Amino acid sequence: MKTRITIKDIARETGLSLASVSNILRGGEMYAEATRKRVWDTAHKLNYVPNRQAQELRHGANPEVKRLNHLI
């Protein structure tokens, strides 16, 4: 069974922190162009696919999920 590639894998491969990788993948522009390119190139090389369920939890796309997140 193939393991899912996560931002931890990208962070390890690029030598950046999880926070930096996460910010870059979410569109953060506060990083040098070379750093952003390195993260995106690594993500493509590793065939990274964002976890949609995790994104929905974070952003509250589903009103019920958003309501439950505020309870936690």
Q: Give helix 7-14 / helix 18-25 axis angle, nearest 10°.
A: 110
Q: Which two three-digit tokens encode residue 31?
A: 């990083």
pLDDT for the residue 48: 95
7 confidence band (pLDDT: 50, 70, 90): very high
Q: Where are the beta strands (DSSP E) in 1-72?
A: none
Amino acid at residue number 22: S
Q: Report the predicted TM-score, pTM, of the whole model to 2 decimal places.
A: 0.72
Q: Over 70: is that where the pLDDT of 16 sits?
A: yes
Mean pLDDT in residue range 13-36: 94
Q: Which two three-digit tokens encode residue 25?
A: 């993948």
